[in-house]
Amino acid sequence: MFKSVAINLVRAVDEAARELRAIDDEVAGAKLNADVWSVKEILGHLVDSAANNHQRFVRAQGTTELSFPGYEQDAWVRAQDYQNTPWPQLVDLWVLYNYHLAHVIGRIPARAADVQVRIGGDDPIALSALAEDYVAHLRHHLLQIRQRKTMVISRNPDFADRDPR
């Protein structure tokens, strides 16, 4: 079960990496408005998700249940200033971190599948479901990045020549 999740994660990262690397830094950093994350901030959020889930995937293997604090995703994104991070560095960080997570997930023993993980005030979730949800969450935000990039380019004619489609 965990091996198939790891394979799906690698597949998602491989598919997205080429597309992400083709996005111009200025397009990635463009904000539609102050309250909406840029493409850079969405990918930064996915780095934060990787970091938080890394701890969960490793620690849950050594116990029968585990509790983690939730995290304030907007505060994390702001504190790390992804908006001013060079896009190629951010893409490389996300790609390499997720390859490592795929390595970790693929080696989780089957006996750990039912370990209950509580995050913040949420109901506990089995480690196997958490791993599957991680990949679904990642895919959701990759779609959001595609949509955000398209919106940014369509609203700014100066970016039209930067769309690699």
In order of their start, the domains of the chain are 2-162 (1.20.120.450)
Q: Are 6 and 105 in contact (CB under 8 A)?
A: yes
pLDDT at position 165 is 52
pLDDT at position 164 is 53
Q: What are 158's two structure tokens?
A: 């100066």
pLDDT at position 156 is 85
157 pLDDT above the threshold of 90: no
pLDDT at position 36 is 95
Rounded mean pLDDT, 24-44: 96
Rounded mean pLDDT, 126-135: 98
Q: Are 24 and 88 in contact (CB under 8 A)?
A: no
pLDDT tens, residue by residue, 60-92 = 999 988 999 988 999 999 999 999 999 999 999
pLDDT at position 83 is 97
